[in-house]
Amino acid sequence: MEQFKVLLVDDEEEFVLALAERLQMRGLDSRVVHNGEQALHMVQDYAPDVMLLDLKMPGMDGLEVLRRAKKMRPRVQVVILTGHGSQQDEEIARRLGAFDYLQKPADIGDIVATLRRAHSGSNA
């Protein structure tokens, strides 16, 4: 199985920890952070291939994280996973370079498939 690094960014700790554990069980190297500032540090230090990013977080919101992460590391692929998103948010996210946009709660199979597609995209 091709290995790649996934960074999960979500302020809902119980959600993101359980999700990270499930991704690990499916062979994906996953790290977790809970806010935008931590996410940007990890983009620099951990250099994820794919980022799974919530939109609405206290402090820096997901769209700002997306914009800055793409500037810092253009090859990082970003998949939005949100329970709050509007159609307008989706359009902005895609314009800023998001690979895909998923609604919470999503099926683990869909999340894994999207992360794998995003990683393939990053190598294209």
15 binds other proteins (CB under 8 A): yes
CB-based burial of residue 79 (10 Å sphere; 0-12 exposed, 13-18 middle, 19+ buried)? buried
Instruction: State the nearest-atom distance from the C-beta of 87 to other proteins, in Å.
Output: 10
Residue (of 10, 7, 74, 15) closest to 36 by Cα position: 10
Binding mask 39-78 vs other proteins (x if CB under 8 A, - otherwise)? -----------------x----------------------
Instruction: State the nearest-atom distance from the C-beta of 107 to other proteins, in Å.
Output: 9
Rank residues 56 and 68 by Cβ distance to other proteins and give the closer one. 56
Instruction: State the nearest-atom distance from the C-beta of 8 to other proteins, in Å.
Output: 11
> Residues 87, 52: contact at Cβ < 8 Å?
no
- Name which position in 104, 116, 117, 122 contacts other proteins (CB under 8 A): 104
Which one of 19-27, 28-36, 67-75, 112-120 is the stretch in contact with other proteins (CB under 8 A)? 19-27
The neighbour count for residue 48, using CB atoms within 10 Å, is 24
- Please state, in angstroms and rounded to a whole number, the distance separating the CA atoms of residues 15 and 18: 6
31 binds other proteins (CB under 8 A): no
Q: Provide the β-strand partners of residue 33.
A: 9
